[in-house]
Amino acid sequence: MCRIVAYLGGPEMTLSSVVIEPGHSLLVQSYAPKEMMSGVVNADGFGVGWYVTWSGEEPAVYRSDAPMWSDRSFASIAPKIRARTIFAAVRSATLGLPVEESGVPPFASGPFMFAHNGAVENFRHTAMRPLRDYLSDESYADLLGTTDSETIFALLIDRLQEEPGDLTGATTETIRLITRVCGKLGVRATLNLAVTDGERMAFARYSTEGPGNSLYFVEDGNAFPGAMVVASERLDEDEGWRVVPDRHVLTVEESGTSLCPL
């Protein structure tokens, strides 16, 4: 399983103020998570992505297959980089999948960034081939690794090509497809999905069987005034944190925030 945190809106914040400095930051969650459904640490890599307005629509992404706590280079640059949209994740590799940078979130394509907290059961021997058969030639050619997360992102990108601004619709359709394929195979999938284009975000909390992985959000929090923060685990003791209900999608846009059932 992985842990995710995202920041949108409000003033520009340093990467460190979102990822490293909170009391229960993503850094802490890499070695001491509280609510993981499987695994005990997130030591199989980490990534951070952010948007720089003067450099175009594509995000900058820093990824490593090493634990976050061991990366001195990121610790040194994180206090010096500011952004209004920040996406970050730490990884605990799914059993049977390789520990390499190609499997580390966030994944990026064009203006989009994506992260997946969860797993498709026994992916390489069950749903990998059937799901990849749904990919366009272009998305298939862009695959670098063998992970369920990268495959899910490729499926999502194909749907975003049809309606780039509809993150929620593309996320919903992707979950429906995976649920249909996994249902035929008798395979369980946990699908907390997160996607952003720098201006809006969509987050799904979903599992084909049983409860989904934990997911929270806080608006205009004490540590993040004027912004929306979404995280797998609450970053601090702010009483404003709310739970994303199971089998719901959270949409964050300038016009407001909405929760809809899946």
So where are the chain's domains? Answer: 2-261
Tell me the pLDDT of the chain (262 aa) as tens digits. 689 999 998 899 999 999 999 999 999 999 999 998 877 888 889 999 999 988 889 999 999 999 999 999 999 999 999 999 999 999 987 666 666 788 899 999 999 999 999 999 999 999 999 999 999 999 999 999 889 999 999 999 999 998 888 999 999 999 999 999 999 999 999 999 999 999 999 999 999 998 899 999 999 999 999 999 999 999 999 999 999 999 999 999 877 899 999 9
The C-alpha atoms of residue 13 and residue 141 are separated, in whole angstroms, by: 36
Cβ contact 207:189 at 8 Å? yes
Residue type, 39: G
Cis peptide before 164 (omega within 30 of 0): no
Residue type, 225: P
Residues involved in catalysis: 2
The C-alpha atoms of residue 235 and residue 188 are separated, in whole angstroms, by: 29
Tell me phi and psi for residue 28, to 5 degrees: -65, -40
Cβ contact 126:9 at 8 Å? no
Instruction: State the angle between helix axes of 148-162 and 167-185 in degrees (0 to 180), rounded to the nearest 10.
Output: 130
| 2-261 has CATH 3.40.228.10 classification | no
The C-alpha atoms of residue 13 and residue 80 are separated, in whole angstroms, by: 10
Residue owning tokens 């695959």: 143
Q: Can you name the residues that pair with 49 across neighbouring β-strands?
A: 61, 87
The C-alpha atoms of residue 229 and residue 17 are separated, in whole angstroms, by: 12
43: Cβ contacts below 8 Å, ≥ 6 apart: 30, 31, 67, 92
The C-alpha atoms of residue 251 and residue 257 are separated, in whole angstroms, by: 6
The C-alpha atoms of residue 100 and residue 80 are separated, in whole angstroms, by: 27
Q: Can you name the residues that pair with 4 across neighbouring β-strands?
A: 89
The C-alpha atoms of residue 157 and residue 140 are separated, in whole angstroms, by: 11
Using CA atoms, how far residue 97 sits from 18, 44, 92, in Å, is 29, 11, 10
The C-alpha atoms of residue 222 and residue 113 are separated, in whole angstroms, by: 26
pTM of the model: 0.94
Q: What would you measure as the largest C-alpha separation in the chain, in angstroms? A: 49
Tell me phi and psi for residue 137, to 5 degrees: -60, -40
